[in-house]
Amino acid sequence: MPLAATGDLVGRAAARRGAVAAFNVITLEHIEAVVAAAEAAGAPVILQISENAVRYHGGRPGPLAAAAVRSAEPSTVPVALHLDHVTSDGLLRQAADCGFSSVMFDAAHLPYEENVAVTRAAAAWAHGAGLWLEAELGEVGGKDGRGPLDAHAPGARTRPEEARHFVAETGVDALAVAIGSTHAMTSRDARLDHALLADLRAALDVPLVLHGSSGVPDDELRRAVGGGITKVNIGTALSIAMTAAVRAHLAGDERAVDPRGYLAAGRGAVTEAAARLLPTIAAAPVA
């Protein structure tokens, strides 16, 4: 089926008070694995390419995005393409031409007024190009090798009243909120602030996005979706699965030289990891 639009998938998830999973993809094998997992689960999915992944591919978003578009076309489930954690205006401006239907513009590290100003400009530009725009207020820590934020550090939690103003002032379509998750966790023991999520849900009329979801255990993910999270972002869990499988494959065959052997092992492990997570995220929450 043709590429779906992120806004449509998130809107449909919100209508049934569920969520859509958004997986970060770095290689063609990630893309193939996530699409296969979504088909196996019978669930729509968002493929996300981050600015860091674009940098890994020489700063060009086009080749990997084209692979994602082509891989989504024969899929039996809706697949959307999202450009994640964008800080560069130049990259933002390439999004529509590369097949992305949405962008997460990341200015959460800036002081509030600056975040508002650059996000407002990004949203205006994105909307003019037909793109759905997600932004972040409060800071989900752990990005780019930086450690987790202390829960009491300024910005470590999204403040509902400030978030209401932020959404009104910027016109964003969705908001990533800081409620206790952290990027790049390799253990699944994060505890979320569900009372804060309830306050944010009550204060805001846009879909809420959970970043750093690899570190959030299944029961917390289910509660978060039940409490109003509509898009669940997962990256590190796939990296852990892929790397462990590649490492095991190579350790088990010291004479291996064909990359297809270990890449297939990595791809299979990513499929399994995504297939395990999808039902938890995509299933309608228990009332």
Give the binding site for ligand G3H (CB under 6 A). 24, 84-85, 183-185, 211-214, 233-237
Per-position b or e across 91-130, b if 16+ CB within 10 A of its CB: bbebbbebbbbbbbbbbbeeeeeebbebbbebbebbeeee
Please choose, out of 58-66, 127-135, 200-208, 209-217, the segment that lies near Zn ion by the rule CB under 5 A.
209-217
Which of Zn ion, ligand G3H, none binds 106 (CB below 5-8 Å, type-dependent)?
none
Q: Of 8, 84, 205, 218, which is the active-site residue?
A: 84
Q: Which is nearer to Zn ion, 53 or 118 (CB)?
A: 53
Q: Is 82 in the site for Zn ion (CB under 5 A)?
A: no
For the bound state, the minimum distance from the C-beta of residue 239 to ligand G3H, rounded and expressed in Å, comes to 7
Which of ligand G3H, Zn ion, none binds 236 (CB below 5-8 Å, type-dependent)?
ligand G3H
Count other Cβ atoms within 10 Å, centred on residue 263. 17
For the bound state, the minimum distance from the C-beta of residue 74 to ligand G3H, rounded and expressed in Å, comes to 26
For the bound state, the minimum distance from the C-beta of residue 183 to ligand G3H, rounded and expressed in Å, comes to 4
Residue nearest to Zn ion (CB): 211
Q: Is 157 in the site for Zn ion (CB under 5 A)?
A: no
Active site residue 84: yes
- Token digits of residue 208: 């809420």
For the bound state, the minimum distance from the C-beta of residue 167 to ligand G3H, rounded and expressed in Å, comes to 19
Alpha helix ranges (H) inside 171-235: 194-203, 218-226
Closest CA to 47 of 244, 277, 233: 233
- Token digits of residue 247: 């490492």
CA distances 217 to 14, 190, 214, Å, are: 21, 7, 8
CA-CA-CA-CA dihedral for 77, 40, 74, 47, to nearest 10: 70
Which of ligand G3H, Zn ion, none binds 225 (CB below 5-8 Å, type-dependent)?
none
Selected from 211, 231, 249, 267, the binder of Zn ion by CB under 5 A is 211
CB 189 within 8 A of CB 196: no
Q: How many residues bind Zn ion (CB under 5 A)?
A: 1
Q: Is the dihedral of CA 34, 36, 39, 41 positive or negative?
A: negative
Which of ligand G3H, Zn ion, none binds 24 (CB below 5-8 Å, type-dependent)?
ligand G3H
Where does this chain bind Zn ion (CB under 5 A)?
Answer: 211
Q: Which residues are identified as catalytic?
A: 84
